[in-house]
Copies of this chain bind each other. A is one copy, B any other.
Amino acid sequence: MDRENEYKLLDSLFDELFPLCRSITGYGIEASMEIISRYMPLQFDRVKSGTQVFDWQVPPQWNFCRARLWDPNGNVVCDTNINNLHVVSYSEPVDQFLTLDELLPHLHSLPDMPEAIPYVTSYYKRTWGFCLKHSDKQMLQPGRYRVLIESEFDPEGGVPFAQTTLEGENSKEILLSSYLCHPSLANNELSGPLVLLGLYNRLSKWPTRHYSYRFLLNPETIGSLCFLYKNYQSLSDNLEAGLILTCLGGDVDTLRYKASRKGNTTYDQLANHLASHKQLRYVDFTPLHGSDERQYCAPGFNLPVAQVSRSLNIAKVPYHTSLDNKESMNMARIIQSIDELEKLLQLGEVAGVAVNQSPFGEPQLGKRGLYPNMNTLEHTNKSSDNLVDGRTKLNAILTILSDSDGTKSMVQIAESLNLTLFQMVPIIKELEQHGLIKFNTGEVL
């Protein structure tokens, strides 16, 4: 797939997914997963409503049809057929008449942003409500309002998630995950799944993969907890690193990498290295806000999961409002995010800990063409019989072999050599081909 087709696919997929009324359960999210599964072979799973998942109980499934509010004159004030954000997510079914005073506690608007419809949820405390522009709310007159919310709670439903894996050379795994539960929001919703799909397509074309790559879609928070509920042991055994993909269409130049709680994983080190070369922005883990990394990094799990985003200026385009739409997002930035993340993942393949496979003394490099075979003063600038480079390459080789004892990552070795990891990639690959180093063995010399 060339770049033009990639763009067209993601652009039209955006338009198809945007109007669906998603929540953490129900028709909207399941339909969205089905649509994406046309392009990547997703396996579907779910955890049943009522199940105790760690400290949480899986809520009943919210099957939502439509919500409307009419003013005393019969004019439509809110209709989810016009904008899904009008209903408080997980509103209970209502069909009644109320005075304005009775209605007002159920109306949500943003006085500071009078033209934005806010996005409001109440998954775990039963209520109902409408969201509308503050300017519209101000116009409401006293009288008898009609409320009709067509929804039902299905105790036999469940929280869905969907995943697929591209297998690699060994059992170590990279998790790439995004959430899919917000209705009709753009950067803070669809950008993540679109980048996930883009990366799936890119990585499926790589000639080799050291790691296996698992691609995961779930509703935020409860979805990642349900996924962990069913998959924690496997992640604990095999996960080398993970990235939560969120808000990746913002119109800003650099990706922002929020490190894992561990703070020193292979990807954390790599991101720090790239940040020192201004290729992304690195921030430490915090449990105070963010996305599903908060669950993966909870102290009982403490998995090596980071988060990446390309956030808008949230003062200008606040999330969780109707202002987060396709116009304020930037589809070209989504492609840029895919490009930059593919590069990050490529470097990630050789960023970790390798082990010298011939560690007892120096290996005899000369017989492999990696050292001058004749020892003379004339050769002190040569990396091999024919390569005159001031020994740059030979110094890198000797340093990699000396440091690859199973405790030092290739990122650390690159930094000790004042090279970028990118510059070292061909040398690393040559040493791998000669069988002199091996990644991901878990061995320590």
Q: How far is the CA of A46 from the CA of B59 in the complex (A)?
A: 66
Q: Are B375 and A287 in contact (CB under 8 A)?
A: no
Say which residue of B288, B299, B374, B395 sits within 8 Å of A356 (CB atoms).
Answer: B299
Q: Are A299 and B404 in contact (CB under 8 A)?
A: yes
A362 within 8 A of B: yes
Q: Would A318 and B55 be within 8 Å (CB), given that A300-B360, A399-B287, A445-B299 are in contact?
A: no
Q: Are A402 and B110 in contact (CB under 8 A)?
A: no
- Which of A13-21, A31-39, A95-103, A120-128 is the interface stretch? A120-128
A298 within 8 A of B: yes
Q: Are B287 and A401 in contact (CB under 8 A)?
A: yes
A395: shortest Cβ distance to chain B, in Å? 5
A146 within 8 A of B: no
Chain A count of residues within 8 A CB distance of the other chain: 60
For A109, the closest partner residue in chain B by CB is: B378
Within 8 A of B (CB), among A390-418: 391, 395, 398-399, 401-405
Q: Are B363 and A287 in contact (CB under 8 A)?
A: no
A364 within 8 A of B: yes
Q: Which B residues lie within 8 Å of A321 (CB)?
A: 377
Q: Would A375 and B121 be within 8 Å (CB), given that A359-B298, A360-B298, A364-B56 are in contact?
A: yes
Q: How many copies does the complex hold?
A: 3
Q: Are A294 and B378 in contact (CB under 8 A)?
A: no
Q: How far is the CA of A124 from the CA of B125 in the complex (A)?
A: 76
Q: Would A298 and B361 be within 8 Å (CB), given that A288-B399, A398-B287 are in contact?
A: yes
Q: How far is the CA of A27 from the CA of B55 in the complex (A)?
A: 63
Q: Which B residues lie within 8 Å of A288 (CB)?
A: 391, 395, 398-399
Q: Are A373 and B56 in contact (CB under 8 A)?
A: no
Q: How far is the CA of A300 from the CA of B406 in the complex (A)?
A: 10
A80: shortest Cβ distance to chain B, in Å? 17
A203 within 8 A of B: no
A11: shortest Cβ distance to chain B, in Å? 29
Q: Are B378 and A110 in contact (CB under 8 A)?
A: yes
Q: Are A124 and B367 in contact (CB under 8 A)?
A: yes
Chain A interface SS verdict (over half): loop
A176 within 8 A of B: no
Q: Are B360 and A228 in contact (CB under 8 A)?
A: yes
Q: Which B residues lie within 8 Å of A404 (CB)?
A: 299
A320 within 8 A of B: yes
Say which residue of B358, B373, B377, B391 sits within 8 Å of A118 (CB atoms).
Answer: B377
A206 within 8 A of B: no
Q: Are A120 and B358 in contact (CB under 8 A)?
A: no
Q: How far is the CA of A389 from the CA of B121 in the complex (A)?
A: 21
Q: How far is the CA of A368 from the CA of B398 in the complex (A)?
A: 56
Q: Are B378 and A54 in contact (CB under 8 A)?
A: no
A302 within 8 A of B: yes
Q: Which B residues lie within 8 Å of A359 (CB)?
A: 298-301
In the complex, besides A123-B375, A124-B373, 16 extra interface pairs with C-beta distance below 8 angstroms are A108-B376, A110-B378, A120-B375, A120-B376, A121-B376, A124-B364, A125-B373, A232-B360, A261-B402, A287-B398, A298-B360, A298-B361, A299-B404, A300-B360, A300-B445, A320-B377
A-B contact pairs, 28 of them (CB 8 A): A54-B360, A55-B358, A55-B361, A108-B376, A108-B378, A118-B376, A118-B377, A119-B376, A120-B374, A120-B376, A122-B374, A124-B366, A124-B373, A125-B374, A221-B362, A261-B402, A287-B398, A287-B402, A288-B395, A295-B361, A295-B362, A298-B362, A298-B401, A299-B359, A300-B356, A300-B360, A301-B361, A320-B377
Chain A interfacial positions (CB closer than 8 Å to B): 54-56, 88, 108, 110, 118-125, 127, 221, 224-225, 228, 232, 261, 287-288, 294-295, 297-302, 318, 320-321, 356, 358-364, 366-367, 373-378, 391, 395, 398-399, 401-405, 445
